[in-house]
């Protein structure tokens, strides 16, 4: 087990937020609904009056949009994912009545999101996904989906998984999927999260030894797993101030594989069945090059990396849980309090 003094380092508000995720997910699912306003926008999209969907956010909110991006394009819609900062300064031609903006912001009041609302001035309809009911995004969007994560201390954890849940429901609605089936799948996430997180002490203990003396950290996935790769690398950087990079397994072969050595740790997300063999081959090649690896999947050999069973369509919501455990193990190894910001605020209010 982890030493008592290391437990003291990690047992703060950030850990409490992580352990509160099943409650946040259950509360969000209970309140999720397709409003009349959202129904109207969905009909306009299906009928072709709206010709494209632009998915936007910053940080973890942006990464959370990737599964929806894949889902919409797979169902025949023209969907684009772009950071809000780029949308407002470089791609504002998309702000017109034929574009549906899906904007995700945990606070609903980050600098870029406020500027988007002001810059748009009603030109493009906006679907806002946020955790704060009285935020500028919630109050000024044409349709709003509220998550019920509650107050969050620092690093995005509760707000990230609840945003993924809301976006899965939204994607199912826009693509004409039966809502009862969507809700049934999402309901299975809650007990799965409880099952994994109840073993948090064991997970961290298992990971601390594996993650010692790491200088280069990569999270590598494909498809929907890229959401956890991007968000995971971000929360490692901000929670324990260690450089980490999230990218596709394919992109890793185009250069970064050359830098693998004994100080490199690569987290490989197995992901969808269609690309699992490719991810497994990448893991083998990194090991042959002298790097250290882990395998996140439902049949992983080590409990800390082993995902609880869930429907394939919502597995991406759970994939962030082992990465959250990593941040705590890395903090224990470094002797710092995970999730305590020293230079940045919880809400980014300056562009």
Per DSSP, the residues of 90-114 read H-GGG-STTEEEEEEESSS--HHHH
Per-residue pLDDT tens digits for 152-166: 999 999 999 999 999
Q: CATH 3.40.50.10490: does it fit domain 32-187?
A: yes
Instruction: Bin 32: left if φ > 0, else alpha if -120 < ψ < 50, else beta.
Output: beta
Q: How far is CA 51 from CA 96, 144, 217, 243, in A?
A: 10, 20, 40, 39
Residue-level pLDDT at 6:
58
Q: Which CATH number fits domain 191-334: 3.40.50.10490, 3.40.718.10, 3.40.50.2000, 3.40.50.1820?
A: 3.40.50.10490
Closest CA to 130 of 91, 98, 168, 160: 160
To the nearest whole percent, how much of the chain has pLDDT over 90?
89
Q: Can you tell me whether residue 62 is helix, strand or coil?
A: helix
**Angle of helix 21-31 versus helix 179-187 axis, rounded to 10:** 160
CA distance 28 to 23: 9
To the nearest whole percent, how much of the chain has pLDDT over 70?
97
Pairing of strands 99-105, 52-56: parallel
- Where are the extended beta strands (E) located within 95-238? 99-105, 126-130, 143-146, 216-221
The arithmetic mean of pLDDT across residues 175-193, rounded, is 96
Q: Does the predicted TM-score (pTM) go above 0.85?
A: yes
Residue-level pLDDT at 65:
98
Per-residue pLDDT tens digits for 268-305: 999 999 999 999 999 999 999 999 999 999 987 778 99
Q: What is the mean pLDDT of the chain?
A: 94
The arithmetic mean of pLDDT across residues 254-268, rounded, is 97
Pairing of strands 216-221, 264-269: parallel
Q: How far is CA 140 from CA 113, 116, 274, in A?
A: 11, 11, 41
Sign of CA dihedral 47, 48, 52, 54: negative
Residue range(s) of every CATH 3.40.50.10490 domain in the chain? 32-187, 191-334
Going by pLDDT thresholds of 50, 70 and 90, the confidence category of residue 120 is very high
The arithmetic mean of pLDDT across residues 52-81, rounded, is 98
Residue-level pLDDT at 272:
95
Per-residue pLDDT tens digits for 318-338: 999 999 999 999 999 988 888
Residue-level pLDDT at 189:
97
């Amino acid at each position: 087990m982890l030493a008592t003094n290391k437990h003291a380092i990690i047992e703060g508000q950030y850990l409490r937020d992580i352990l509160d995720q099943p409650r946040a997910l259950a509360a969000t699912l209970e309140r999720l609904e397709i409003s009349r306003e959202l129904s109207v926008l969905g009909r306009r999209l299906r009928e072709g009056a709206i010709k494209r969907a632009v998915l936007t956010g910053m940080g973890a909110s942006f990464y959370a949009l990737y599964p929806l991006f894949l889902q919409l394009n797979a169902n025949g819609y023209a969907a684009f994912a772009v950071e809000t900062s780029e949308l407002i300064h470089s791609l504002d031609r998309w702000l017109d009545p034929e574009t549906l903006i899906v904007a995700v912001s945990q606070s609903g009041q980050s600098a870029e999101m406020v500027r988007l609302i002001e810059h748009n001035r009603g030109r493009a309809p906006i679907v806002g996904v946020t955790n704060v009911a009285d935020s500028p995004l919630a109050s000024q969007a044409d349709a709003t989906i509220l998550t019920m994560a509650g107050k969050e201390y620092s690093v995005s954890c509760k707000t990230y998984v609840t945003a993924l849940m809301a976006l899965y429901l939204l994607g199912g609605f826009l693509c004409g999927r039966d809502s009862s089936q969507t809700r049934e799948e999402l309901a299975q996430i809650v007990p799965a999260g409880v099952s994994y997180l109840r073993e948090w002490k064991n997970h961290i203990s298992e990971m601390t030894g594996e993650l010692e003396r790491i200088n280069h950290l990569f999270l590598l996935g494909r498809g929907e797993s890229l959401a956890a790769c991007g968000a995971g690398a971000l929360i490692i950087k901000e929670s324990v101030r260690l450089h980490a990079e999230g990218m596709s397994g394919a992109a890793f072969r185009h250069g970064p594989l050359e830098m693998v050595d004994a100080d490199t740790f690569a987290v490989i997300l197995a992901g969808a069945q269609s690309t699992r063999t490719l991810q497994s081959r990448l893991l083998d090649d990194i090991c042959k090059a002298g790097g250290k690896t882990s395998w996140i999947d439902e049949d992983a050999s080590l409990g800390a990396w082993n995902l609880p069973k869930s429907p394939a369509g919502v597995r991406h919501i759970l994939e962030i849980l082992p990465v959250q455990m990593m941040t705590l193990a890395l903090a224990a190894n470094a002797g710092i309090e995970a999730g305590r910001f020293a230079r940045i605020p919880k809400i980014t209010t300056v562009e």
